[in-house]
Amino acid sequence: MTTYATAGEARPVHQTRLNPAAVLPLHAELYLLAHDDDSGKPLINEQSLAIGLAGALLLELWFAGHVYIGSAFDYKQRQWRPESGRLAVARPGPTGSPLRDSALAAVERTVRIQTSGDQVRAWLRGFAASDLCERVQANMITVGLLRRTQVRRYGGLVKTETHLPVHEGYAVRARAHVRDAVAYYERQGRHQAAPDNQTVALCGLTAALELAEFIYDGSRSTRELSEWLRYVVDEHDEATIRAVVTAVDAGRGDLAVAAM
């Protein structure tokens, strides 16, 4: 029987029995793609990864029906209307996950405090700045997806602590999801099921964070694979996913400008 892991179940590690076929939440898959399988070191700048993880958690809230993204309520017409960059709480918590609870509380604050402008980008910057990478890592240890281990360097003279997946199958499956989504659109849907929202979002975030070279797709160059990943998002035609991926892309640009 397949074991499902939610985004932040606060269960002791010894109570968590996950298998390599477990369906992981979006933020966990993205975290694994962004870290080296052998060393546990991040493959990209941690600030950029934090923006991506924030985007993943925001989309998880949307998957579960907790938030509206890119919509505002028109009180005069008594209906929702599309409005780029807007956030709204559709269903208050609890969400069943400490990480998502924290993300939803941050959305509520952003909606209350920032009544104009691009709320999505503001939320991403603010939530990513709250030691998000460390919090995600700690949560993945708690639910049994990561384990602390020591790596010996310089002929065994130096020992450093790192965090590795409890099973290599988790990262392998995350990369396979991305490659399968590309294959579906490349083959025009023949003999494959269409990717779901989570897989499409993973493709978009992988492209936005420039992680394509770590998907290990030997049939394409990194540039070509990145273009395919963006094509997957466009062809899936889900405006909310596109909006969050675009905001993550812009958020990374904001970091680059701030560092100049």
Instruction: Note the pLDDT of residue 9.
Output: 35
pLDDT tens, position by position, 62-89: 999 999 999 887 778 888 888 999 999 9
Reported as a single tens digit per residue, the pLDDT across 108-147 is 999 999 988 899 999 999 999 989 999 999 999 999 999 9
* Tens digits of residue pLDDT in 184-240: 999 887 768 899 999 999 999 999 999 999 999 888 999 999 999 999 999 998 999
Spatial distance between the Cα atoms of 161 and 255, rounded to a whole number of angstroms:
28
Q: What is the DSSP letter of 150?
A: E
φ, ψ for residue 82, nearest 5 deg: -65, 135
Is the pTM value of this prediction over 0.85?
yes
Using DSSP's 3-state secondary structure scheme, residue 147 falls into: strand
What domains does the chain contain, in order, with CATH numbers?
24-254 (1.10.3630.10)
pLDDT recorded at residue 226: 97
Token output for 130: 């709250």
pLDDT at position 161: 84
Q: How far apart are CA 39 and CA 33, in angstroms?
A: 13
Average pLDDT score over the chain: 87
